[in-house]
Amino acid sequence: MTKRAPLANWLNDTNDVVAVFLAAGQIPDLINLAGGLPAPDAWPVDQISELAGRVVRDYPTETLTYSPVPGLPYLRDILAARYSTENSPLTRDNVLITTGGAQGLDLIGKVLLEPGALIAAQSPAYLGALDAWRPRTPRYNPMKLETEGFDPKAAMTGAQFAYTVPNFSNPSGRLVPVAQRQQLIDAARDTGAWLVEDDPYGKLFYDGEALPSMLEMCGDGSPYAGPVIYLGTVSKELAPGLRIGWIIAAPEMIKALATAKQGSDMFSSGLCQMVAAKAFEEGVADTALPGILDLYRARRDALCAAMDEHLSDLMTWEKPSGGMFVWAKMKNPAISTDALMKAGLDQGVCISPSSVFDPEGTDQSSLRINFTLNTPEKLTEGVRRLAATIRQMA
């Protein structure tokens, strides 16, 4: 037998459920309620294609050569201005451009985690964050924010950082109230833990007004140096294929993250950075938003109406006021949602089971359903198939 050095140990610590649901995309006529994909109809295709041609012609150097590691100053300045408030004035030194929000999570793991370090994570947690930090073999303190008497200070003590998605968390769809945002900031100050605010869904409010971000809540009028590390992305407002995200944080943290980025991909595509910069400057993102909100609100309503009709005796859930997901819990604890996902594939429907969002990988009580990708008709049919699957399993 040929002798070969072994692969790293952390590769054994994964879950085959993810591979199964990613492969499910190949099944014909499957209704995919599992992913977290935006609707292609929501992309401003003509505007992005016109911008892409124009920025290459007008800015050949910025778009086609190597870019500075922290990002193009032009885009960093636009983002600094976009997120500055009276309480939290920002400059480009507070901004790092990343290759999607996903890279922001990876870089945070690289600069803050020694092997075995502790993360306090809002639970259930975004699968992509768990995947990003897996090679660092962290320990987790799960933060169940909705539990009565939840004590953020106790949860964050000893943690390198707390990971939160305050606006319509992936997967739970939960909106963290302002008072609890303040408690998280206070706990970060008391414990010394950094506070990661991952915010891809911050613009996707379907009912009511947007809440203030923790980034803007924690400023005191001086140049921003707070404990919040804020992550944004164009993925849900413009298009995920651009792979442009950003981190807003204290300048010392931005420098550390840029050092990690240099060893990772050196810089994010200058072409995509210029497209994003012009899309913000010329209002493409803001103009596209009302249409996206109308489309997604109607889909959320269609999904929840179908769930009311077909699933109310089988599971419990709350209708989310934004984001992309409904999180539901099985009434019958004997039905594992890992098994439900696999059984659903035979009926032509795919959901995401709770085990993949659990840092321990053990919770099989709940499931995540996406409502942005499919039409109302497909959502209704998907829910019918899901209900039929569960009734066969019971």
Ligand X SMILES: Cc1ncc(COP(=O)(O)O)c(C=O)c1O
Q: Where along the sequence are the contacts to ligand X (CB under 6 A)?
A: 36, 100-102, 126, 128, 165, 170, 198, 200, 233, 235, 240, 245
Closest to ligand X by CB, 203 or 342: 203
Is residue 271 classed exposed, middle or buried when 0-12, 13-18 and 19+ CB atoms within 10 A define those classes? middle
Closest to ligand X by CB, 36 or 227: 36
Q: How far is the CB of 390 from ligand X (least distance, A)?
A: 26
Q: How far is the CB of 61 from ligand X (least distance, A)?
A: 26
Bond before 89 cis per omega within 30 degrees: no
Closest to ligand X by CB, 109 or 348: 109
* CA dihedral sign of residues 114, 118, 119, 121: positive
Question: Could you tell me if 374 and 360 are in contact, meaning their C-beta atoms sit under 8 angstroms apart?
Answer: no
Closest to ligand X by CB, 260 or 306: 260
Closest to ligand X by CB, 370 or 389: 370
Residue 276: name the closest of 41, 36, 55 by CA. 55
Closest to ligand X by CB, 284 or 390: 284
Q: How far is the CB of 85 from ligand X (least distance, A)?
A: 23
Q: How far is the CB of 276 from ligand X (least distance, A)?
A: 11
Q: How far is the CB of 238 from ligand X (least distance, A)?
A: 10
Q: How far is the CB of 19 from ligand X (least distance, A)?
A: 18
Q: How far is the CB of 102 from ligand X (least distance, A)?
A: 3
Q: How far is the CB of 234 from ligand X (least distance, A)?
A: 7
Closest to ligand X by CB, 59 or 325: 325
Q: How far is the CB of 124 from ligand X (least distance, A)?
A: 11
Closest to ligand X by CB, 127 or 390: 127
Question: Could you tell me if 328 and 316 are in contact, meaning their C-beta atoms sit under 8 angstroms apart?
Answer: yes
Closest to ligand X by CB, 233 or 374: 233
Q: How far is the CB of 355 from ligand X (least distance, A)?
A: 17
Q: How far is the CB of 100 from ligand X (least distance, A)?
A: 3
- Closest residue by beta carbon to ligand X: 100
Which element (helix H / strand E) includes 126?
none
> What token pair was written down for 341?
């996902």
Three-class DSSP labels, the chain: CCCCCCCCHHHHCCCHHHHHHHHHHHCCCCEECCCCCCCHHHCCHHHHHHHHHHHHHHCHHHHHCCCCCCCCHHHHHHHHHHHCCCCCCCCHHHEEEECHHHHHHHHHHHHHCCCCCEEEEECCCCHHHHHHHHHHCCEEEEECCCCCCCCHHHHHCCCCEEEECCCCCCCCCCCCCHHHHHHHHHHHHHHCCEEEEECCCCCCECCCCCCCCHHHHCCCCCCCCCCEEEEEECCCCCCHHHCCEEEECCHHHHHHHHHHHHCCCCCCCHHHHHHHHHHHHCCHHHHHHHHHHHHHHHHHHHHHHHHHHHCCCCEEECCCCECCEEEEEECCCCCCHHHHHHHHHHCCEECEEHHHHCCCCCCCCEEEEECCCCCHHHHHHHHHHHHHHHHHHC
Closest to ligand X by CB, 71 or 348: 71
Which element (helix H / strand E) includes 81?
helix 73-83
Closest to ligand X by CB, 78 or 335: 78
